[in-house]
Amino acid sequence: MEILIYGITNSIILSLMSLGFALVYSISRVPNFAHGALYITSGYIVWLLINKAGLPYLPSVLLGLAAASLIGALMYRFIIMRIRGMEISEIIGTYAIGLAMIEGLRWGGLRGMTYTLPAFVSGSTEIGGVSIDYQRIIIIITGILIFILLFLFTRYNRIGLALRGIAQDERAAMMLGIDSDMTAIISLAIGSGLAGLAAVLLLPLGNIVVEQGYNVLIFAVAVCVIGGLGSWGGTIVASFIIGFAQILTEKYISSHFVMVVALLAIVVTLLIKPSGIFGKQKQLEERV
């Protein structure tokens, strides 16, 4: 029971972390290596808004998400757009932007344990004899809600359909009058917003530390690679696989190995089946 509950929470946390990355990659084919940096930056922005600007919780969260989306969109418009299509430049470029943001925050004084975000609702309850705090329950509920919302958005909304069109066949979509760059901007905005949302939900569980930025990136990449880069269902399945694997390692081996599991999972997946569980490389498939 304990394993089940913690496993589910951990899996939802992982999928929240990686959803933004998966979304951006599946739509615009940009591996957004600045994802972890966006995560930590939006957490920090929300912290600033609450503690320095003195705004109440909800408006500052919304503003923080908007800021994250804006950063993502600007990043695409002014930097990634120029190097679009050159894979290596994209990787190095986004990675460098992410590094600059994370290390800039570290330099700007984001160190130590002083920075924490408040939980949405504090307190805890018991399910089946396992104590679980409300924040984790909220994470699970929001996680599931986001999946459903994104599913509906990409099926029953003009913009969502355009995003899916571009993801499936860029050329055909462009012929139908869908602007490739515009959809990429939207995808980056949504992806960054999702990173921000994950930050707001997950950061109350611990402190805001810059190292989280790297860890989130690693987890996001791990989940997306295992699920198949660009595949959506794969992302969710993979986050459940890694989530439970991690909880099991933590319980039966040692908590030191949690990160090793994720990293080994990436390496092993890439070696055995590079396209991931659900990815089909070089084939026309539905990616969103």
Partner 1 sequence: MEMKRKERIDRGLKVRTEGIYAISSFKEIAYLIGPRLLLIGGVMLLPLIFEVAPYWKRVVNYMCVYAILAIAFDFLANYVGLVCLGGALFVGVGGYLTAIFNTYLSLPFYLSIPFATVSGACICTVIILPCLPLRGVYFAIVTLMYPILFSRIIEAFNIFGGTNGISGIDSFPNQYLEQYLIIIVMLVVLFGMRRFVNEDVGLVLRGIKDNDQSVRASGINVTHMKCMAVFIASLMGCFAGAYISHLYMFAGLSLFALDFSIIPIAAVVMGGGGTLVGAVIGCFILVPLSEVLRDFGSFRIVIYSVTLTGFIVFKSEGIMVYLQRKYHQFERWAKI
Which residues bind to partner 1, rule: CB under 8 A? 31, 79, 82-83, 87-89, 91-93, 95-97, 99-100, 103-104, 106-107, 218, 221, 225, 229, 254, 256-257, 259-260, 263-264, 266-267, 270-271, 274
The residue among 229 and 237 lying less far from partner 1, judged by its C-beta, is 229
Smallest separation, CB 245 to partner 1 (Å): 15
The residue among 27 and 49 lying less far from partner 1, judged by its C-beta, is 27
How far is Cα 248 from Cα 257, in angstroms, rounded to an integer? 10
Q: What torsion do the CA atoms of 31, 36, 39, 43 make, to the nearest 10 degrees?
A: -160
The residue among 3 and 79 lying less far from partner 1, judged by its C-beta, is 79
The residue among 6 and 33 lying less far from partner 1, judged by its C-beta, is 33
The residue among 100 and 130 lying less far from partner 1, judged by its C-beta, is 100
Smallest separation, CB 174 to partner 1 (Å): 23
CA of residue 251 relative to chain centroid, distance: 25
How far is Cα 242 from Cα 113, in angstroms, rounded to an integer? 28
Q: 223 with 235: CB under 8 angstroms?
A: yes
Smallest separation, CB 73 to partner 1 (Å): 17
Check residue 279 and give left, alpha or beta (phi > 0: left; psi -120 to 50: alpha): beta
Among 200, 222, 220, 196, CA closest to 277: 222
Measured at the alpha carbon of residue 267, what is the angle toward residues 265 and 273, in degrees to the nearest 5?
Answer: 90
Phi, psi of 161 (to 5 degrees): -65, -35
Smallest separation, CB 244 to partner 1 (Å): 19
Smallest separation, CB 12 to partner 1 (Å): 23
How far is Cα 14 from Cα 120, in angstroms, rounded to an integer? 19
Q: 209 with 265: CB under 8 angstroms?
A: no
The residue among 98 and 196 lying less far from partner 1, judged by its C-beta, is 98
Smallest separation, CB 222 to partner 1 (Å): 8
Q: What torsion do the CA atoms of 31, 37, 43, 49 make, to the nearest 10 degrees?
A: -110
